[in-house]
Amino acid sequence: MAVMQEILSAQGNARKLLVVLIDPDKPVAIEALSPHLCLPDLIFVGGSTGAQTETCVAQVRQHTSRPILLFPGNIAQFTPSADALLFLTLLNAHTPEVLIYPHIQVAQQVLRSGIETIPMGYILVDGERKSSVEIATNTQSIPQSDVSTIVQTAVAGQLLGKQLIYLEAGSGAHIPVSAEIIRAVRAELQIPLIVGGGITTPEAMICAFEAGADIVVIGNHFEQYPDEIADFVRIKQERYD
C-alpha cells in the first residue's frame, strides 16, 4: 500500500498515527532511537543540513519495516531510498527563494526517481522559541492568538492541492500548537492534519489527537528519552487502534 493511501485509510477509520522524527545530522540520537523504531506508525527523516540523509535512511531501514518519509529542510536531503517524500511548501513564507525555487531545483530528480511524492502544506506557528526553520528561511511564525490566519492558511493549502497540512510549533518549542487552533483548522479541513513541535508528554499527544490531529510528530523529546517511545505508542494504541 502506498504511504498516502495508508494515511488516508487511518484517517477514514479514526486511527491516529504517531511519528518519530529523526535528524540525520545527529548520529548519537539515531543510535539511541534504533531499538525503538519498530514501534511508531511512520518515521520522518529530516534535519538542518541533510548531509547524512541517505546514510540515516539506510540505518533506520535496518530497524523497522514502517514507512520512512523524507521531511526535507533543503534539496540536499533528497534520497530515493526512502518510501516517500513530503514535498513541502512553507505556506507562510513570503519569498520565492523559500516558496518555489527549491522545488524547481529538485523537481526532475524527484520525478525520475519514481519515489512516492506527497504534497504537504507546512505552517509555522509560534511555539515561544525561534525554530531552526524560521532562522534558515527568515520566515515569521504565526502567533497562536491569530487563529483565523492559521485557519485561512491551512485552507489555502488544501485548495492549492496539498494532500497534508502540517501545523508546526518548531523544534524544541516551549509550547505546542494549542487545542483551539487544531480544532479550528480541523473544522475547515478535509485532508489529514499533522501536528508537531513541543509535544513532550502522552497527555499533550492525546490533547492534539482529541482536538483533531490525525498525525502527531515527536522529535526532540524522543531524541532525549528514546525509551519513552514505547509508552507513547501503547497509550495511543489503547485509545485509537
pLDDT at residue 100 in the model: 79
Q: How far is CA 30 from the centre of its chain?
A: 17
What single letter denotes the amino acid at residue 84? Answer: A
Mean predicted confidence (pLDDT) in 64-79 = 91
At residue 48 the predicted structure's pLDDT band, cuts being 50, 70 and 90, is low
Check if the beta carbon of residue 120 is closer than 8 Å to that of residue 89.
yes
Collect all residues with Cβ–Cβ distance below 8 Å to 30 and sequence separation of at least 6: 22, 24, 56, 59, 60
pTM score > 0.75 for this model?
yes
Collect all residues with Cβ–Cβ distance below 8 Å to 54 and sequence separation of at least 6: 79, 81
pLDDT at residue 229 in the model: 98
At residue 81 the predicted structure's pLDDT band, cuts being 50, 70 and 90, is very high
Mean predicted confidence (pLDDT) in 192-204 = 97
Mean predicted confidence (pLDDT) in 150-155 = 98
pLDDT at residue 185 in the model: 98
Q: What is the DSSP letter of 214?
A: S
- Under the phi-then-psi rule, with left for phi > 0, alpha for psi from -120 to 50, and beta for the rest, what region is 11? alpha
In sequence order, the β-bridge partners of residue 17 are 215
pLDDT at 179 over 80: yes
